[in-house]
Amino acid sequence: MAAQSKHQESPKLGVKDFLDFVYDTQAEWSVLAVQAPIESVAAELAEMHDAASWLHEVPRREAGDEDTMGFPLIAIVQVKDNPWTVVYHELCTVSEAGLKVVTEEAEALSSKLDTRAISFVGEDTSGAVAYKLFEGGKIVEEAEWEDGGEFFTFKSKVRKQPDLETVDDEFTDEVFRAQGIYLPVCYPQADEEGAWLMVDKISATCVERADLLDMRGEEEEELEDEE
């Protein structure tokens, strides 16, 4: 049998590309990943945010330096040849509510879909980074640290705390690689005519599908409740 003429590259894994992106802009984010198909994850999230509009299979465009961040959209991304769906709540700026809700959603989705889910957040002012890993709705590991510092918290049902004097991106990357997760560099954009997903060149071949939850209806509902 003739040897293959083309080398097949291994699928991308980990968070290095993602962290390089946020550290080059503003190091704040609230994301989660769920080991389940995008349709199942998006359906559950749409039910949780019942005032949001679910936009199916939105267009993808190449990211640019002048793109605006902070649209009230949740991006739900299926990574090619990967069983995990990635959900981007907030990028480059986070709210207190955003830091909290991703962990609540990771726990709920893990329980409802009987699978694994992980929340992952970073906050620029304090420099704190944290994740919580759930399986079947039960937390199996959590950690929090200041980037380049010691662990504030490390609790795990599956392993001992790593013997690290300083916790850095290499540790985080290994956690996500061990789970088989890749976080593409991408973010939602919108105008009066529609919405789409911007994808950086480094992740261009990795995004198979993207759905968006348009949160503007939910925000209007909150204002009505306050009145």
Identify the band that residue 9 occupies on the pLDDT scale cut at 50, 70 and 90: low
Alpha-carbon distance of 186 to 200, in angstroms, equals: 6
Per-residue pLDDT, 175: 98
* Residue that wins the pLDDT comparison between 203 and 92: 203
Task: State if pTM tops 0.75.
Answer: yes
Taking only the tens place, the pLDDT of each residue in 58-111 is 999 999 877 777 788 999 999 999 999 999 999 988 888 888 999 999 999 999
- Given pLDDT bands bounded at 50, 70 and 90, which one contains residue 6? very low
Closest to 119 in 3D by CA, of 105, 140, 138:
105
Tell me: pLDDT of 211 over 70: yes
Q: How far apart are CA 123 and CA 26, in angstroms?
A: 9
pLDDT digits (tens, 9 = 90+) for 12-42: 999 999 999 999 888 899 999 999 999 999 9
Contact 203, 78 (CB under 8 A): no
**The pLDDT of residue 177 is above 80:** yes
Residue pointed to by tokens 């937390």: 139
Mean pLDDT of the chain: 89
